[in-house]
Amino acid sequence: MKDKIKNIVLPASFGILMIALWEGRMIHKLLGFKPFQLPIPSEIIKTLSKNFNKAIIDTLTTVNGALVGLVIGCIIGFLVAVIATQFPKWGYTGLTVIATFNAIPIVALSPIMNRWFESGFGQKVGVVTVVCMGAMAINSYRGLNDLKPFARDLMQSYAASEKEVFFKLRLPNCLPSIFTAIKINVPAALMAAMISEYFAASTSGLGFGVKDNLRKGMMAMGWSYIVMASLVGIILYLFIIVVERRAIKWHASQR
């Protein structure tokens, strides 16, 4: 218990210290920044609260695209892993192809994919989907196939069907890996959605907000969007962790 408190208090005090140094313009002095290059926290908060409604709408635009893409990407990735598991001969090739997508940098992929879809929403969903497929496919394939020694023999000795092996052994065995993939994919999806907005002709969203405001020299407003993006990322991540803790409390990572 003491360790737990220590693990919260120490990083929190470090964060508060950094913000205080930032607010007191110590960082500016140290690195030679002018005030407009790095607005101080109180100014960012003030700007954000003044434009909160617009910021929320932009945030929801991005989050919508990111979540839809996340869900589609995760489902496709998982299905590929299932096919690779049940039909190893040609399914494994599909897995390799999907995994290769992960090696393509989003900044390269995003401008190309933005030409494929008409709407900004479609563009966002497309990029996020591609980004999320790989991690889910690779992780869940591992979860479906890294079985304890003799676990398959046990099922075979009871003459269990492939379907029973899948639902009673592989799928529950895979749950921790699915959560790992989702935890990787949540920040990646937000990032991919924002990057898609950088390159798109869209006029809403977090990515557009950051780009547009910084271009217009409205640094505090640009930073407001960065704050919103961070908050959304943290909230989504915490949500996944809470669900995970309930869903796989038997797993070594949750004890």
167-181 burial: b if 16+ Cβ within 10 Å, else e: eebbeebbbbbbbbb
Query: Measured from the CB of residue 252, what is the shortest distance to other proteins in angstroms?
Result: 7
Question: What is the number of alpha carbons within 13 Å of residue 1 lying toward its C-beta?
Answer: 0
DSSP one-letter code for 158: T
169 binds other proteins per the rule CB under 8 A: yes
Q: At what angle do helices 52-86 and 206-215 cross, to 10 degrees?
A: 130
Smallest separation (angstroms) from other proteins to the CB of 169: 7
Among 17, 172, 231, 253, contact with other proteins (rule: CB under 8 A): 172
246 sits near other proteins (criterion: CB under 8 A): no
d(CA 41, CA 20) in angstroms, rounded, equals 9
250 sits near other proteins (criterion: CB under 8 A): yes
The residue range among 8-16, 65-73, 105-113, 158-166 that interacts with other proteins, by the rule CB under 8 A, is 158-166
When asked if residue 36 is in the footprint of other proteins (CB under 8 A), the reply is no
163 is a site residue for other proteins (CB under 8 A): no
**DSSP E strand boundaries for the chain:** none
- Distance from chain centroid for Cα 157: 41
* CB of 201 vs other proteins, minimal distance in Å: 48
Residue in 76, 175, 184, 240 binding other proteins, rule: CB under 8 A:
175
Q: Does 154 bind other proteins (CB under 8 A)?
A: yes
| Shortest separation between residue 154's beta carbon and other proteins, angstroms | 5
With vertex at residue 248, the alpha carbon angle to CA 138 and CA 128, rounded to the nearest 5 degrees, is: 40
Nearer to other proteins, 53 or 157 (CB): 157
109, 112, 206, 23: CA torsion to nearest 10: 50
Q: How far apart are CA 128 and CA 132, in angstroms?
A: 6
Are the C-beta atoms of residues 126 and 199 closer than 8 Å to each other? no
Q: Is 64 in the site for other proteins (CB under 8 A)?
A: no
Q: Among residues 116 and 167, whose Cβ is nearest to other proteins?
A: 167
CB of 153 vs other proteins, minimal distance in Å = 5
Number of residues that bind other proteins (CB under 8 A): 23
Task: Please identify, using beta-carbon distances, which residue of 115 and 255 lies nearer to other proteins.
Answer: 255
103 vs 159, which CB is nearer to other proteins? 159
- Asked if 86 interacts with other proteins (CB under 8 A), we say no
Please say whether the beta carbons of 244 and 179 come within 8 A.
Answer: yes
Q: Is 243 in the site for other proteins (CB under 8 A)?
A: no
Question: Contact between 166 and other proteins (CB under 8 A)?
Answer: no
- The CA-atom distances, in angstroms, between 89 and each of 83, 94, 149, 179 are 10, 10, 22, 27
Contacts to other proteins by CB under 8 A: 148-151, 153-160, 164, 168-169, 172-173, 175, 248, 250-252, 255
